[in-house]
Structure 1
């Protein structure tokens, strides 16, 4: 058995801005980018069609939104600004470390996260002291922005299982969102939702071998 954990809302809690366009605008301005007066409208508009289930990288969206107003910005600048806008302090949720430790005792462990900001999952794990150097760090990280697919679609779960070296049927995914994380149970893996099994109980059941 291999276990994957959702990140945001499951292992960690983070305070997110109610106006992300403002957070991005501030970081763009700090990098010398002229932000258009109607930036909120540009940010909240769609500028490219994506296939259903495909991830829309936020740095790409920001570049397209700026270009729609005649402002050109380089890929590196957009990526750095977007990461800075969303790289905020996080709190490790109660039971997260115990659940990770118990999962490591059972087999390989992954973080499988929907995240449209390149580098944010890794930065968040670092903030939570769960980076590769930490004892409880996951063996692998699968972020939708890198995988190209979002939960609940099968490819991201299949990529997670593949990265852990197990068939999809041997993957148990733990998360807080029935719509996205619950998708694991609909594509051949198993899903454990925190509303049914809180993280401290996940840890206990992993140690007992009774999680699923």
Structure 2
């Protein structure tokens, strides 16, 4: 048996920008990139034709959105602007550390997070004091697929050296995290089972 945890909203809470388009625009302008007048419209449009369930890194989206308005930007500038725009304040959720310890007592433990911002997951783990607590960290931009796509869970299971049906995934969103159940694994919803009760639930049969 192996356990993966969703990160945001499950183990930690972070302060997202209230207006992501505006936050990215400020960081682009700080790097001397001309931001088009209808940037909020461009930011909200789809610019990358990706397969259903595929992960689209936010810097790629930002670069294509600017290009759609005739603005050229280097990949490096787009990446740095996005990373800076989503530089988080992190709060570890109550019971998170005990839940990780309980999972570690039973087998390999990993992170499986939908995240389109480069560096955000490792930076969050550092600020939460959780770096080094996991056997593997799988992100959507790392593996190329977002939960609930089967390939996201399969990538996380492979990183932990187990079959996907032997995976227990702990998360807060049934529409995404609950996808593990369709593959024969088990979903534990922290909105129904607090992290403080995880140890008991891990001992229960499927």
Stretches of structure 1 that go unaligned for 5 or more consecutive residues are none
Tell me if the contact between 1:150 and 1:156 (Cα under 8 Å) persists in the aligned partners.
yes
Are 2:204 and 1:210 aligned?
A: yes
Runs of 4+ in 1 over 2 A off after TM superposition: 203-206, 209-212
Q: Deviations over 1:21-67 (max 9, x none)?
A: 01101111111211111111111111122111111111000000111
Q: Secondary structure at the match of 1:203?
A: helix
Q: Secondary structure at the match of 2:63?
A: helix
Cα distance in structure 1, aligned partners of 2:190 and 2:87: 25
Query: How many pairs align?
Result: 206
Stretches of structure 2 that go unaligned for 5 or more consecutive residues are none
Cα distance in structure 1, aligned partners of 2:154 and 2:134: 17
TM-score calculated relative to the size of structure 2: 0.96
Cα distance in structure 1, aligned partners of 2:205 and 2:83: 35
Cα distance in structure 2, aligned partners of 1:69 and 1:62: 11
TM-score calculated relative to the size of structure 1: 0.93
Are 2:19 and 1:19 aligned?
A: yes
Are 2:198 and 1:197 aligned?
A: no
Q: Secondary structure at the match of 1:55?
A: coil
Aligned residue for 1:160?
Answer: 156
Aligned residue for 1:70?
Answer: 70
Aligned residue for 1:181?
Answer: 177
16-25 vs 195-204, which deviates more?
A: 195-204
Are 2:54 and 1:54 aligned?
A: yes
Q: CA deviation at 1:205?
A: 3.7
Q: CA deviation at 1:195?
A: 2.2
Q: Deviations over 1:45-90 (max 9, x none)?
A: 1112211111111100000011111111111111111011112101
Are 2:105 and 1:109 aligned?
A: no
Q: Secondary structure at the match of 1:106?
A: coil
Cα distance in structure 2, aligned partners of 1:17 and 1:72: 25
Tell me if the contact between 1:202 and 1:211 (Cα under 8 Å) persists in the aligned partners.
no
